[in-house]
């Protein structure tokens, strides 16, 4: 065969026989690389060490140091190893599919008897035995009919069905981990011993329908997590433990913030404590908006389908809309309305009232827009993913030449808000033009350039999401990282050339002619509901003092102090501090414990001595020590912390 040329990451090229495998290439470089190698990337494709290369190519050999490839292979090999372990322990089990997912993998099994949590330990032990055997991983390409016959003979109908679903021109690849065989695209590691045996854990068992179809068999899914080293596994398990402690649903109960019930799925019943956080945050945002030059509007909840048809939502978004049919008196036909899933079309209606001139632009319009979206019940999650929510929504109507400046102003505005709310830094993702899009290339060039240069001018280098922009324009997304390293996409800033056209928004230019404004869709928090969920988890319930719903509880130690408690509460309230009395006939330790669980930041205990000296004994959340302070001094201190950051 003719020689081929392989180019390495350092730019050097070497000639090889066509059909050479990356394993042989690695061996030619060094013995140690050949041992350490786990896979290759060939012309951008993740490539098994055993797959031949037939033409000139770019090649990179990977080792465990290449985190991305190593994680994928380790998790993928573990899926096979787990399936083998399960079949070795329970030979009557049928195997189906086992993909890699974030942080790990799962595999779906068909077995009459349910797996128990105790089984997970047994399976893990067997998996470690397989890893310790260092069984070689082999691969072959099979003829379709041979593969089908093989799985029929073995009584594995799921695999037969999988093969039937693979397009006819695609080669069928088989992998062996030792003697155990699975249908798989690959790539895989060289041998089972390359999987770190101390860096994985089986996590849970769940039910899953075959092919996600509720008319098909119910299978048993086992989830695992895996990393390239045991420290990384430990860090991940710690993060999960920490996340469970911070879960806003648990803290929401303990702090008595809200509840949800079956009659209103995905809708929140806010309790006084939760609603206090909500309104504090909303008041803050309203002040920021005013200072930011926005006008606030409010638009209808129930809107006739004709507007949604004009905006395009009826066609593109209907499955997520709550439809409301109304029998209007005297109407010939039923009126079909929808609860608004977004505020944008309504804002254009406000804009369209009266003639606009170029001097009116930019027009920054904001609404605390209550929206309803039909989310599938499986996607709902506490107050983070709901069906009824309120966005801190806004639309900037501007001229094309104002996009960059408005973007810069917006980034500055958002930076201040995130900082005030305790997030010092954030990342920005930039999504540029998708394949299917509206508008000319020229206008896309300008809009993308405007978003990029405004972001860079703010000292932020955005991460590129190629082709992920909306069909109506490019966008920026703002991602916060919380205290335990999780990412939350909150803010968005989206250019839209299409909606003003569809809903016929215009302005009169300096030339006296009609022009289309550009619309910038933007939100900082995203929705109040989700953002409050993030704040609760970020702070593990210990919210900044100004947002804490109950800032101070004044608890009596003896009933003779009740009058003084009332006076202390009144003095705190007069200073603008949210204070409550606790004069129940309970022991002070009991009261302290209860309010600590409720995450009250300051508990004041008062007994005979405090009454006499006009002092309070102060216990701050999370601190063991208490201190005795004159009441007036304490009020001075607390009223500073109770003031929202923009008013200090």
The site for Zn ion (CB under 5 A) is made up of 184, 344, 521
User: For residue 231, what are the CA distances in angstroms to 59, 159, 238?
Assistant: 30, 36, 10
**Catalytic residue (choose from 75, 236, 373, 591):** 373
**Catalytic residue (choose from 62, 347, 437, 475):** 475
Shortest spacing between CB 167 and Zn ion, in angstroms = 18
Shortest spacing between CB 189 and Zn ion, in angstroms = 10
Residue whose CB is less far from Zn ion, 123 or 344: 344
Residue whose CB is less far from Zn ion, 103 or 537: 103
Pairing mode, strands 172-177 and 104-110? unpaired
**Catalytic residue (choose from 521, 530, 550, 595):** 521
Q: How open is the CA angle 107-108-109, to the nearest 5 degrees? A: 120
User: For residue 563, what are the CA distances in angstroms to 559, 570, 633?
Assistant: 9, 11, 20
Q: How open is the CA angle 489-490-495, to the nearest 5 degrees? A: 95
How would DSSP label each residue in 512-530?
SSEEPPEEEEEEEEEEHHH
**Catalytic residue (choose from 393, 539, 595, 599):** 393
Cα–Cα distance measured from residue 28 to residue 372, given in angstroms and rounded to the nearest whole number: 62
Residue whose CB is less far from Zn ion, 184 or 403: 184
Q: Which tokens in the block code for residue 94?
A: 């049928």
Within its chain, how far is the Cα of 515 from the centroid?
38
Shortest spacing between CB 186 and Zn ion, in angstroms = 6
Shortest spacing between CB 201 and Zn ion, in angstroms = 20
Helix, strand, coil share (%) of the chain residues, nearest 5 = 40, 30, 35
Shortest spacing between CB 56 and Zn ion, in angstroms = 28
Handedness of CA 504, 507, 510, 512 (dihedral sign): positive
Shortest spacing between CB 242 and Zn ion, in angstroms = 32
Residue whose CB is less far from Zn ion, 318 or 629: 318
**Catalytic residue (choose from 395, 433, 530, 599):** 395
CB of 572 closer than 8 Å to CB of 635: yes
Cα–Cα distance measured from residue 456 to residue 449, given in angstroms and rounded to the nearest whole number: 10
- Taking residue 17's Cβ as centre, other Cβ atoms within 10 Å add up to 12
- Dihedrals phi, psi of 191, to nearest 5 degrees: -155, 160
Residue whose CB is less far from Zn ion, 80 or 591: 80
Q: Which tokens in the block code for residue 475?
A: 């966008």
Residue whose CB is less far from Zn ion, 521 or 539: 521
Residue whose CB is less far from Zn ion, 131 or 344: 344
Residue whose CB is less far from Zn ion, 184 or 572: 184
Cα–Cα distance measured from residue 372 to residue 395, given in angstroms and rounded to the nearest whole number: 19
Helices (H) and strands (E) in the chain, counts: 20, 33
Q: What is the CA radius of gyration of the chain?
A: 31
Active site residue 401: no
Shortest spacing between CB 229 and Zn ion, in angstroms = 22
**Catalytic residue (choose from 391, 402, 494, 551):** 391
Active site residue 313: no
Active site residue 344: yes
Contacts of 622 (CB under 8 A, 6+ apart): 542
Shortest spacing between CB 492 and Zn ion, in angstroms = 9
Q: Which tokens in the block code for residue 531?
A: 């953002």
Q: Which tokens in the block code for residue 99?
A: 């993909």
Which residues are tagged catalytic?
A: 344, 373, 391, 393, 395, 475, 521
């Amino acid at each position: 065969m003719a020689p081929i040329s392989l180019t390495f990451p350092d730019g050097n090229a070497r000639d090889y026989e066509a059909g050479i495998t990356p394993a042989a290439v690695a061996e030619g470089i060094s013995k140690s690389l050949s041992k350490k190698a786990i896979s290759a990337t060939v012309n951008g494709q993740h490539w098994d060490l055993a797959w031949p290369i037939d033409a000139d190519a770019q090649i990179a050999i990977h080792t465990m140091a290449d985190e991305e490839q190593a994680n994928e292979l380790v998790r993928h090999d573990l899926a096979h190893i787990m399936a083998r372990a399960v079949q070795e322990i329970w030979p009557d089990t049928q195997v189906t599919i086992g993909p890699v997912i974030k942080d790990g993998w799962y595999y779906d099994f068909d077995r009459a008897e349910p797996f128990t949590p105790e089984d997970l330990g047994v399976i893990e032990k067997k998996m470690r035995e397989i890893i310790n055997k260092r069984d070689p991983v082999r691969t072959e390409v099979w003829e379709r009919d041979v593969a089908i016959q093989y799985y029929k003979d073995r009584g594995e109908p799921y695999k037969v069905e999988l093969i039937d679903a693979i397009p006819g021109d695609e080669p069928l690849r088989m992998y062996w981990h030792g003697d155990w065989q699975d249908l798989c695209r690959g790539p895989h590691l060289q041998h089972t011993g390359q999987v770190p045996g101390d860096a994985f854990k089986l996590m849970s068992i769940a039910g899953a329908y075959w092919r996600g179809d509720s008319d098909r068999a119910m299978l048993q899914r086992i989830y695992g997590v895996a990393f390239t080293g045991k420290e990384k596994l430990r860090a991940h398990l710690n993060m999960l433990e920490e996340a469970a402690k911070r879960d806003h649903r648990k803290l929401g109960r303990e702090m008595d913030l809200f509840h949800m019930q079956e009659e209103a799925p995905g809708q929140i019943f806010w309790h006084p404590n939760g609603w206090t956080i909500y309104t504090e945050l909303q008041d803050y945002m309203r002040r920021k908006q005013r200072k930011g030059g926005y006008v606030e509007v409010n638009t209808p909840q129930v809107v006739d389908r004709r507007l949604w048809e004009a905006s395009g939502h009826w066609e593109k978004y209907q499955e997520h809309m709550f439809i409301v049919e109304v029998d209007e008196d005297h109407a010939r036909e039923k009126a079909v309305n929808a609860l608004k899933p977004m505020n944008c079309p309504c804002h254009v209606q406000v804009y369209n009232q009266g003639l606009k001139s170029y001097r009116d632009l930019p027009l920054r319009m904001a609404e605390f827009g209550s929206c309803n979206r039909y989310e599938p019940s499986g996607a709902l999650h506490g107050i983070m993913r709901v069906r009824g929510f309120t966005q801190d929504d806004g639309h900037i109507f501007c001229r094309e030449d104002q996009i960059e400046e408005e973007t810069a102003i917006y980034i500055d505005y958002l930076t201040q808000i995130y900082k005030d709310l305790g997030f010092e830094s954030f990342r920005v993702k930039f999504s540029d033009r998708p394949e299917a899009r509206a508008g000319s290339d020229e206008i896309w060039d300008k809009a993308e350039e405007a978003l990029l240069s405004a972001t860079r001018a703010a000292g932020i280098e955005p991460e590129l999401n190629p082709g992920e922009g909306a069909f109506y324009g490019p966008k920026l997304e703002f991602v916060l990282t919380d205290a335990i390293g999780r990412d939350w996409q909150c803010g968005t800033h989206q250019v839209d050339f299409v909606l003003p056209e569809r809903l016929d928004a215009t302005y009169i230019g300096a030339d006296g002619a009609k022009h289309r404004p550009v619309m910038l869709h933007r939100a900082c928090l995203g929705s109040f509901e989700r953002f409050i969920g993030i704040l609760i988890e970020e702070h593990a319930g210990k919210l900044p003092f100004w947002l804490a719903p109950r800032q101070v509880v004044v608890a009596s130690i003896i009933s003779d102090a009740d009058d003084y408690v009332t006076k202390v509460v009144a003095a705190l309230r007069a200073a603008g501090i949210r204070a409550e009395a606790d004069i129940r006939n309970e022991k002070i330790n009991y009261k302290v414990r209860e309010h600590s669980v409720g995450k009250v930041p300051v508990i004041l205990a008062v007994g005979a001595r405090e009454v006499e000296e006009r002092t309070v004994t102060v216990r701050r959340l999370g601190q063991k020590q208490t201190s005795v302070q004159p009441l007036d001094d304490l009020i001075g201190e607390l009223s500073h912390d109770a003031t929202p950051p923009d008013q200090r």
